[in-house]
Amino acid sequence: MALNDLKSNPPRLVLGVTGSIAAFRAADLASALSQAGIQVDVVMSREATKFITALTLESLSKRPVITVDDEPIIEGIPAHIALADAADLVLVAPVTANVLAQTALGLAGDVLTSLLLATRAPIWMAPAMNGKMWEHPATVLNVETLRGRGVEFIGPDTGLLACGYEGSGRMASVAEISHKVIAFLRPPK
């Protein structure tokens, strides 16, 4: 990936993928957004690679995928800085309670959280976690903190969760997320 690739005409989305069972839905999201003419650069947490492969997301986004174990230098600039500067929007889908908390605290322990701290682009998050985790006072406070900094949340939805519980915490649908991203990055003229 060259720095010139980072300044292209299509709108630029950085899609952060974290370690939730909902990570498999990032494949459909990357595909839908790429087909809509959005350049999608994927950054995966280490935990996300346990649920979905970088190769899958690279095949669907048609872009190199950055993982915690493989952060390239782009013309002398670490990828997390280059992508943070080039992004028109950063979307973390799914975002786990852990990454949500790290972001609220301003921690930068890996490529994704470093990018979230470095970017000045709008940040959107699509939570996916157990309902008790979503409703925990710590998570509620972290969401309030992030909203206070301008982070937008899509979802979560209510329904049957992967853990077998029913309740809030289910990642919003790919259709809902992609519709909102497309409307933001490719507004009607």
Which residues are tagged catalytic? 163
Q: Side chain identity at 102, as an amino acid letter?
A: Q
3-class SS of residue 73 = strand
Q: Give residue 169's Cα distance to chain centre.
A: 16
* Type and span of the H or E element at 125: strand 123-127
